[in-house]
């Protein structure tokens, strides 16, 4: 299988390295990833500056293409210019979970949704931790998933967001297919003053307010691997009828 790997943690991140090591012997694997960390850039693309691409070596061997842009840029550039059509795109393995509202902000998830927009099946893969992360289990799990991909009873192209708890594999309770939480985050900004007396802000820690057990946030906290099918269609279909009525009223004003 021809596989494109990307991420938002940067081309030298441990997660993408672990994923490559788990896949390269059985598959034709290519890496096109940001030259530096591009976390929380969402689905941004670069239009006001040129995209720079550098071939990167790992040891004596070619490793991948480092791109000056965003994760979404990487996927576009890989498909249209650097690699060509692929069978699958995997974004990750990311440090830190991508669940709930954070899915909207995530560069990791946006790279996967970009792939689906272009017509390719994709996975966004993350581990719920920032320190002492063992990426090997998640990487080997994804290698097993890919071996069974033809057995999936799901229409292609699909986009699946997969999150792993950062625990010993023997402590993982199982796998849950769950919806994305839409509960708001508790957030704050730390107000500070620099040496010149000017005010600046750091966005502080965030906390999920979700309590429903059928969501990615709670299932992951409970120790399950979570799988959530996601899409890029933002249409609120439930509201179409009521908005049509509004449009007819507004039409009388014209």
Whether 53 and 38 have beta carbons less than 8 Å apart is answered as no
Q: What is the DSSP string of the chain?
A: -EEEEE-SS-TT-HHHHHHHHHHTTTSEEEEEEESS--TT-TT----SSPPPEEEEEETTEEEEEEESS-HHHHHHHIIIIIS---SEEEEEEEES---TTHHHH-HHHHHHHHHHHTT--EEEEEEE-SSS---HHHHHHHHHHHHTGGG--SPSS-EEEEEEESS-GGG--EEEE-BPP-PPEE--EEEEE-TTS-EEEEE---EE----TTBHHHHHHTTEEEEEE-------GGGHHHHHHHHHHHHTT-
**Structure confidence at residue 145 (pLDDT):** 96
The residues, any chain, with a CB within 8 Å of residue 168's CB and separated by 6 or more, are none
Its pTM stands at 0.93
**Structure confidence at residue 155 (pLDDT):** 87
Whether 163 and 217 have beta carbons less than 8 Å apart is answered as no
Whether 67 and 35 have beta carbons less than 8 Å apart is answered as yes
Question: Looking at the DSSP assignment, which residues form a beta bridge with residue 94?
Answer: 126
**Structure confidence at residue 244 (pLDDT):** 84
Locus of tokens 């040496």:
195
Domains annotated for the chain, with CATH where assigned, are: 2-180+211-251 (3.40.1210.10)
Buried b (16+ CB within 10 A) or exposed e, 174-196: eebebebbeeeeeeeeeeeeeee
Per-residue pLDDT 10s for the chain (254 aa) are 999 999 999 999 999 999 999 999 999 999 999 999 999 999 999 999 999 999 998 877 889 999 999 999 999 999 999 999 999 999 999 999 999 999 999 999 999 999 999 999 999 999 999 999 989 999 999 999 999 988 888 888 999 999 999 999 999 999 999 999 999 999 999 999 999 999 999 988 778 999 999 999 999 999 999 999 999 999 989 888 888 878 878 787 77
**Structure confidence at residue 246 (pLDDT):** 82
Neighbours of 88 (CB within 10 A): 21
CA dist 217 and 211 (Å) reads 8
């Amino acid at each position: 299988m021809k596989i494109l790997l990307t991420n938002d943690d940067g081309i030298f991140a441990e997660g993408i390295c672990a994923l490559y090591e788990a896949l390269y012997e059985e598959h034709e694997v290519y890496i096109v990833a940001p030259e530096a960390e591009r976390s929380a850039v969402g689905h941004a693309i670069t239009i006001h500056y040129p995209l720079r691409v550098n071939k990167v070596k790992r040891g004596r061997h070619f490793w991948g293409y480092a791109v000056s842009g965003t994760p979404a840029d990487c996927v576009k550039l890989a498909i249209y210019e650097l690699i060509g059509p692929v069978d699958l795109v995997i974004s990750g393995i990311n440090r830190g979970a991508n669940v709930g509202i954070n899915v909207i902000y995530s560069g990791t998830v946006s790279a996967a949704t970009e792939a689906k927009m272009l017509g390719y099946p994709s996975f966004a893969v993350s581990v719920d931790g920032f320190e002492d992360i063992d990426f090997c289990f998640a990487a080997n799990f994804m290698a097993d998933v890919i071996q069974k991909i033809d057995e999936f009873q799901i229409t292609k192209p699909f986009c699946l967001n997969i999150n792993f708890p950062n625990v010993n594999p023997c402590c993982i309770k199982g796998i849950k297919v769950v919806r994305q939480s839409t509960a708001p985050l508790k957030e704050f900004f730390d107000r500070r003053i620099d040496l010149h007396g000017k005010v600046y802000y750091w966005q502080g820690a965030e906390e999920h307010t979700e309590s429903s057990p059928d969501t990615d946030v709670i299932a992951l906290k409970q120790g399950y691997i979570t799988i959530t099918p996601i899409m890029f269609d933002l249409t609120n279909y439930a509201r179409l009828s009521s908005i049509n009525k509004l449009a007819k009223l507004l039409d009388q004003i014209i």
